[in-house]
Structure 1
Amino acid sequence: MIVVAGSANTDLVAQVSHYPGAGETLIASDYAVYQGGKGANQAVAAARLGTPVRFIGAVGDDDFGDRILTGLVTEGVDVHAVRRCPGSSGLAMITVDQTGENRIVVVPGANGQLDGSGDLRPAMVGASALLVQLETSPGFVNAALAAGQAAGAEIILNAAPAASLAGFDTDAVDWLMVNAGEAAFLLGEAAGGTRSETADQARRLGAHYGFGVIVTLGADGALWVDRDGGDRHMPGRVCEVIDTTGAGDTFAGAFAAARIKGQSIADAIRWAGVAASLSVGQAGARTGMPDLASVRAALD
């Protein structure tokens, strides 16, 4: 069982020719509504790969909340640990340009009511892996980390959106998962200009905090540094890019799915990289997330 603790949103997506400057108004070429939120996305990514998944989060008592829950249940995700809060559900406003790159503004809504005040240990029963992100409050993240550690789960912290790790219980973390920009942010540095520079940043992060570090590199694949400081690189897979919105979440969910199936770190990162490469071929954070058969076919 994978437990994912995090945010659930509705994504409002506009297709634009370019990103507007200050005071500029753009006419979008298209608009769509998708289910999103980093936590919910990662739960769906893992569930589509045939893995039992339980989601811990919160939604509002609005129509968006109804749709979020229905969407998760349809994907086979256990939602018994999702709180229903008065008020609005979380929203993400996303613009995607002609190259497939995205910019996102998140309105927390009910996600902002996740403060860690409840006992999360019952939701961790049977957990082999825990996925947590930084789109919810530090109190909630720490409560999830503590409950996951008590359950003996392998804990993966996806430090996104980028934020300082001060105040988080990093001692509970087995693997930090970030992109190159997030890795640099955590060190207070500019992003590495080469893969070796990024590997050095990952190595220093791991040495400072005492966990393994996985850095996703987009088209260049991913690199990882074990707790002993050794680093390795997994090349990327050539693919058509339509929308990168859900690629990182797909990678995280697929990595966790591979780990609870007993795959090594190298094999799990290869598996996750293939899943992420398949996800960018369609618009929307979840639309392109592959199923088990698709990933297996791409690996052959």
Structure 2
Amino acid sequence: MPAEPTVIVVGSLNADLLLDVERLPGPGETVTALRAGRAWGGKGANQAAAAARLGARTRFVGAVGRDEVGEEALVALERVGVDTSAVARVGEPTGSAHVLRDAAGENLIVVVPGANALVDPGHVESSLAAIPDGEVVVVSNLEIPDDAVLAAARACAERGWPFVLNPAPARSLTPELLALVTVLTPNAEEATGLGPSSPAALLAAGVDAVVVTRGADGVDVHAGEAGAGPARIAAFEVDVVDTIGAGDAFTAALAVGLAWGHPLAEAARLAVAAAAVAVTGPGARGAELSLAAARSLLESRPR
């Protein structure tokens, strides 16, 4: 087991504008916000923050604009221990998401990719090439261009590193990329929008393992022979405040577990516990996520 697991996240970073409204507007309608706030987001940055808080040595590879908000977002990552030295500054503004939330909990979200759309495969290649040999797990998602994700996957294949892909937002994946994925972590809806229409088909396409998250129903771990039945890991019962951070915490914790050298099933159990901790606080990063908190939940459940 490595003394300190290393997780590298190649992904997106956003500044989120949160607007609470009594009800969502219809076409052509103007409503007044009850309150406004800002939070840091982007699946890649969320996953990097979670991995660092879970005790991994973590580096984030992505892009921000040459603007104040991008620098502030990087400071927020650095405060939780993420190395941001591989983040490029590009000509587009830092990515953003505009979230309208009504009193019933429904929402409308508009994402402006901005700098995330300019994450360059050459930059990804050079950033990963600079990492010393060792026990490393690389994580990526689909909020950056496909060629950047593929560059990360190819680098992992060359170095012998596990490559964990969180396929969100879901879109069809190329056969080359699928064949390079060590663990795919879709939710139940995303699992049907990736080209191959089932976990068994994804395994047949070359993915080593597919771990499907199902919210309160836990996760299904599909590995081994295509067509084999999944292993179900139950979710933990906790007081839920906000589920928005669960998926990113899950993927990050799975990568941390693999970086520790744990078998997939053990890493998935750690990830389920981390996701449970993540939903006990507001927003994507508002919970008191830590390795100690996740392990405490694990110890409360017999194997």
Aligned-partner SS, 2:205 = helix
Instruction: Give the alignment partner of residue 212 of structure 1, picking from 209, 214, 224.
Output: 209
The 1-side partners of 2:69 and 2:280 are apart by: 26
Q: Unaligned 5+ residue runs, structure 1?
A: 190-200
One of 83, 90, 95 as aligned partner of 1:85: 90
Distance 1:103 1:243 in 2: 16
Could you tell me which residue of structure 1 aligns to residue 80 of structure 2? 75
Q: Which runs of structure 2 are paired with 1:137-176 in the superposition (5 Å)? A: 137-166=145-174, 169-176=177-184
CA–CA distance in structure 1, aligned partners of residues 279 and 23 of structure 2 = 19
Q: Where has structure 1 moved over 6 Å in runs of 4 or more?
A: none
Aligned runs of 1:275-286 on 2, under 5 Å? Answer: 275-286=274-285
Deviates more, 1:34-43 or 1:143-152: 143-152
Q: How does 1:87-126 map to 2 (within 5 A)?
A: 87-98=92-103, 103-118=108-123, 119-120=125-126, 121-125=128-132, 126=134
Decide whether aligned partners of structure 1 residues 52 and 103 sit closer, same or farther in structure 2, where only a CA change above 3 A counts.
Answer: farther
Give the alignment of 1:27-66 within 5 angstroms. 27-66=32-71
Q: d(CA) in 2 for partners of 1:115 and 1:48? A: 27
Summarize the Cα distance change of 1:101–1:124 in structure 2 as closer, same or farther, 3 Å threshold: farther
Assess if the C-alpha contact under 8 Å between 1:124 and 1:147 holds in 2: no
TM-score (norm: length of structure 2): 0.87
The 1:188–1:31 alpha-carbon spacing in structure 2 relative to 1, beyond 3 Å, is farther
In 2, the alpha carbon distance for the partners of 1:257 and 1:188 equals 27
Task: State percent identity of aligned pairs.
Answer: 40
Which residue does the alignment assign to 2:269?
270
> Which amino acid is the alignment partner of residue 293 of structure 1?
A
- Contact 1:81-1:123 at 8 Å conserved across structures: no
What amino acid maps onto 1:277 in structure 2? A
What does residue 293 of structure 1 align with?
A: 292
Indicate conservation of the 8 Å contact 1:127/1:148, yes or no: no
Q: Is the 8 A contact 1:102 1:245 kept in 2?
A: no
Matches within 5 A, 1:1-40: 1-17=6-22, 19-40=24-45
Relative to structure 1, the CA distance from residue 11 to residue 32 in structure 2 (aligned partners, 3 Å threshold; closer, same or farther) is same
Equivalent pairs, count: 289
Partner SS state of residue 169, structure 1: helix
Deviates more, 1:60-69 or 1:281-290: 281-290
Give the corresponding residue for 1:193. Answer: none
Q: Distance in 1 between matches of 2:255 and 2:111?
A: 25
Amino acid aligned to 1:142: L
**Unmatched 5+ residue regions in structure 2?**
1-5
1-structure distance, mates of 2:173, 2:251: 19
| 1:22–1:127 Cα change, 3 Å | farther
Which residue matches 2:258?
259
Instruction: Indicate if the aligned counterparts of 1:183 and 1:215 stay in contact, CA closer than 8 A.
Output: yes
Distance 1:16 1:10, change over 3 A: same
